[in-house]
Amino acid sequence: MQRYILKRLAQTLVTIWIVTVVVFMLTRITGDPVDLLLNPMASEEDRAVARKAWGLDRPAYIQYWRYISGLMRGDFGTSIYWGEPNLKIFLERFGATVQLATFALLVSAITGITIGVLSARAPGGKIDTFGRAWALAGQSMPTFWVGIMLILIFAVTLRILPTSGTGGFRHLILPGFTLGWYSMAAFTRLTRSSMLNVLDSEYIKMCRIKGLPERMVIWKHAAKNASLPILTLLGVQFVQFLSGSLVTETVFAWPGVGRLAVWSVYNRDYPVVQTIVLIVSSGYLFVNLFIDILYAYIDPRIRYE
């Protein structure tokens, strides 16, 4: 078990290192990063001053070393626009995104799992057909359009919910549903296939032969065993929401990390963009590592593969 954990940890750290290289290269792919970071009208003297101030006159490997050693000390660099540490700017807006992501996760998990379980109970029936159509539609609609349609129906036409911004639970509903829309489909599909696999197994047939009520068969026995892949999806989806919030936060003017990212790209504040990419990627990789270790702990076959 320890060997497996160390191996997976090593893989995760190597992958994070590759992410830091990609993030470092991001502002250098079109040539001189100063062209990207400064106003295009900046004079040659301004460029020279900026280059020296940001250490961009040093060779690339020295710049990378300074970047990586800064990261290890918790220094993610400074924002060009705000003039403040990138980490501070990120953390100020992180709370709003976590709030939105948590609500979206609850909504999508509860809806998706319920529809998935009901679909699996009667495959081919009305709920199953509806569930599969719903999942398909969910994965074919762009998030920004879902958001705009919800605004059109509930805010503009019915006037029962606000169009944008923060201020209470009512402000959370439309953005939460928008962000969770795509993953509702994922939860529905996964729950349905996971339940169908479990319901097909011998011990479930045994439960039915014993005469257990169907409610107990589904919720006490089948659902518990089908839940492992669903728990994985919960973890992975939460982190994906943190990154996928870009569009939702833009549509609803939600003051989170996603909106910060888009705004930073528009305003060429790439140090902030690099920080967001690095933190979100690392979060995703560590969540995956945690899930893999959990799986290996529960199912010993995995660690011996």
Partner 1 sequence: MFEGRGMGGLKEALKGIPLIPATILVMVVAAGLLGPSVVPYDPVETNLPDSFLPPIWKEGGRMTHPLGTDQFGRDVLSRLVVGARISLLVGCMAVFFSGFFGTVVAITSGYLGGSVDAFLMRMTDAMLSMPYLLIGVALAGIMGPGLINLVIVLAVLGWASYARVIRSEVLRLKTQEFIALARIAGCSTVRILWKHIFPNIANTMIVLGTLQLGITIILAASLSFLGMGVPPPTPEWGLMVAEGREYLSTAWWLATLPGTCILLTCLAANLLGDWLRLRLDPKYRQRA
Chain positions contacting partner 1, by CB under 8 A:
11, 14-15, 18-19, 22, 26-27, 29-30, 36, 136-137, 139-145, 148-149, 151-152, 156, 240, 242-244, 246-247, 250-251, 258, 261-262, 265-266, 268, 270, 273, 276-277, 280-281, 284-285, 288
- Minimum distance between the CB of residue 50 and partner 1, rounded to whole angstroms? 17
Q: What is the DSSP string of 57-86?
A: TS-HHHHHHHHHHHHHTT---B-TTT-SBH
> Nearer to partner 1 by C-beta: 156 or 206?
156
- Minimum distance between the CB of residue 59 and partner 1, rounded to whole angstroms? 22
- Minimum distance between the CB of residue 276 and partner 1, rounded to whole angstroms? 7
> Nearer to partner 1 by C-beta: 222 or 276?
276
Q: Which two tokens stand for residue 79?
A: 């924002």
- Minimum distance between the CB of residue 11 and partner 1, rounded to whole angstroms? 7
Location of structure tokens 């160390």: 6
- Determine the Cα–Cα distance for residues 262 and 258; give it in Å rounded to an integer: 6
Amino acid letter at 188? T
| Closest of 20, 43, 36, 28 to residue 80, by C-alpha | 36
Q: Which two tokens stand for residue 301?
A: 């076959």
| Closest of 148, 139, 111, 104 to residue 127, by C-alpha | 111
- Minimum distance between the CB of residue 216 and partner 1, rounded to whole angstroms? 32
- Minimum distance between the CB of residue 299 and partner 1, rounded to whole angstroms? 20
> Nearer to partner 1 by C-beta: 212 or 236?
236
Amino acid letter at 43? S
- Determine the Cα–Cα distance for residues 164 and 171; give it in Å rounded to an integer: 7
Task: Please check whether residue 26 is in contact with residue 37, taking contact to mean a CB–CB distance below 8 angstroms.
Answer: no
> Nearer to partner 1 by C-beta: 9 or 149?
149
> Nearer to partner 1 by C-beta: 22 or 231?
22
> Nearer to partner 1 by C-beta: 157 or 210?
157
Count of other CB atoms within 10 angstroms of residue 262: 14
- Determine the Cα–Cα distance for residues 280 and 246; give it in Å rounded to an integer: 12
